[in-house]
């Protein structure tokens, strides 16, 4: 096993990323999504609201939410976190597909485009996390997950105030951090 310094991949991982750029970004997308998801569920430990993205995606994907008392509501988010088994699996599938797709977009488009003015790969991942936060808190959450509920622009008018948009930012920074840490193919040698 080859070890390295913090913030730099091991030579063994680096060689695998260089040999398998597409496969490695898929693996990194799954890892970054899983780690972000874990932290999203434990945010209440630090005073932030829980971010159960798979639950929200499952409700959107199946449009059926089941309350703890067994009541079924079509097409609406609920206060309860109990959902049907189908909603659970659809939600996780959609969540991880989203994580992998956005990881590929980061690797193919964003990472290379910002490389001229952001040299550090971790900083590129964090910057991507900020962009994803703007998309998530500015569009996706208020218009897809909680439409017509008065959350306002970037969710500051919701019941959690600043905590929900801040939690979304932290979640996406964690995701971007792991993208930047784990996916950094070697630059091709100049001719």
The pLDDT tens digits along the chain (191 residues) read: 455 566 666 788 889 999 999 999 999 999 999 999 999 999 999 999 888 888 878 877 776 555 555 455 544 444 444 456 777 788 889 999 999 999 999 999 988 888 788 888 899 999 999 999 999 888 877 777 776 666 777 777 777 778 888 999 999 999 999 999 999 888 765 44
- Would residue 71 count as lying in a domain? no
Alpha helices per DSSP H over the chain:
11-19, 21-42, 53-62, 85-105, 111-113, 121-135, 163-182
Model pLDDT for residues 14-26, shown as the tens digit of each residue: 899 999 999 999 9
pTM above 0.85, yes or no: no
Determine whether 112 is exposed, middle or buried from the number of CB atoms within 10 Å of its CB (0-12, 13-18, 19+): exposed
At residue 97, the pLDDT reads: 94
Give the three-class secondary structure for 77. coil
Do 111 and 154 form a contact (C-beta atoms < 8 A)? no
Backbone φ and ψ of 139, nearest 5°: -125, -55
Query: For the chain, how many structural domains are there in total?
Result: 1
Decide if 190 is inside a domain.
no
| CA neighbor of 179 nearest in space, from 119, 109, 123, 97 | 123
Domain for residue 188, yes or no?
no
Q: Is 168 helix (H, G, I), strand (E, B) or coil?
A: helix
Supply the range of the domain harboring residue 160: 11-51+93-182
Q: Kindly state whether residue 83 falls inside one of the protein's structural domains.
A: no
């Amino acid at each position: 096993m080859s070890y390295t310094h913090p913030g730099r991949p091991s030579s063994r991982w680096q060689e695998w990323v260089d040999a398998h750029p597409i496969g490695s970004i898929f693996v990194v997308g799954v890892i970054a999504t899983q780690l972000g998801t874990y932290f999203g569920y434990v945010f209440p430990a630090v005073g932030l609201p829980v971010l159960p993205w798979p639950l929200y995606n499952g409700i959107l994907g199946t449009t059926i939410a089941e309350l703890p008392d067994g009541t079924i509501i079509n097409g609406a988010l609920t206060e309860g976190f109990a959902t049907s088994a189908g909603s659970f699996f659809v939600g996780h599938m959609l969540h991880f597909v989203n994580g992998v797709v956005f990881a590929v977009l980061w690797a193919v488009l964003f990472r290379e485009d910002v490389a001229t003015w952001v040299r550090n790969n971790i900083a590129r991942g964090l910057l991507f996390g900020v962009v994803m936060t703007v998309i998530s808190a500015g569009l996706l959450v208020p218009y897809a997950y909680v439409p017509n509920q008065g959350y306002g622009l970037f969710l500051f008018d919701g019941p959690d105030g600043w905590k929900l948009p801040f939690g979304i930012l932290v979640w996406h920074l964690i995701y971007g951090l792991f993208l930047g840490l784990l996916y950094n193919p070697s630059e091709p040698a100049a001719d």
